[in-house]
Amino acid sequence: MGSNSQVFEFQTELLRQALGPQHEYEFVDGTIECDPTPDIATSFPTCHKYYSYFEREPNSINAALDDLEEYLTTNGPFDGIWGISQGAMLAATYLARRYPKALEHSSYQSIKCAIFICAMPLCILDDGDPRLATSDIEGELVRIPTAHIYGALDPSYEKSISLKSRCRKDLALAFDHGGGHELPRSHEKTTGMAETVAKTIDQALLGA
**Range 123-141 average pLDDT:** 57
Question: Taking a C-beta distance cutoff of 8 angstroms, is the pair 5, 28 a contact?
Answer: yes
Q: Establish whether 105 is a catalytic residue.
A: no
pLDDT (0 to 100) of residue 141: 85
Amino acid identity of 24?
E
Out of 3, 85, 162, 165, the active site residue is 85
Per-residue pLDDT reduced to its tens digit, 40-85:
877 877 777 888 899 888 889 889 999 999 999 899 889 999 999 9
Q: Is 184 helix (H, G, I), strand (E, B) or coil?
A: coil
Q: Establish whether 181 is a catalytic residue.
A: yes
Q: Is 63 helix (H, G, I), strand (E, B) or coil?
A: helix
Amino acid identity of 201?
I
pLDDT (0 to 100) of residue 22: 95
**Range 137-154 average pLDDT:** 88
Per-residue pLDDT reduced to its tens digit, 84-120:
999 999 999 999 887 777 666 564 457 999 999 999 8
Q: Which one has a higher pLDDT value, 163 or 126?
A: 163
The span from the CA of 18 to the CA of 15, in Å, is 5
Predicted confidence band at 37 (pLDDT cuts at 50, 70, 90)?
confident
Q: Establish whether 23 is a catalytic residue.
A: no
Distance, C-alpha 66 to centroid of its chain: 16
Out of 29, 52, 154, 176, the active site residue is 154
Q: Which domain holds residue 47?
A: 5-205
Helices (H), the chain: 5-11, 13-19, 38-43, 58-75, 86-97, 99-105, 157-165, 187-205
Specify the DSSP class assigned to residue 28. -
What's the number of domains the chain is made of? 1
Ramachandran sector of residue 109 (left: φ over 0; alpha: ψ -120 to 50; beta: rest):
beta
Most confident of 28-32, 101-105, 140-144, 189-193: 189-193
Per-residue pLDDT reduced to its tens digit, 166-199:
999 999 999 999 999 989 999 999 999 999 999 9
Neighbouring residues of 186: CB distance < 8 A, sequence distance ≥ 6: none
Q: Is the model's pLDDT at 133 over the cut of 50?
A: no
Q: Is the model's pLDDT at 135 over the cut of 50?
A: no
Q: Is the model's pLDDT at 208 over the cut of 60?
A: no
**Range 126-154 average pLDDT:** 73
Predicted confidence band at 123 (pLDDT cuts at 50, 70, 90)?
confident
CATH number at residue 41: 3.40.50.1820
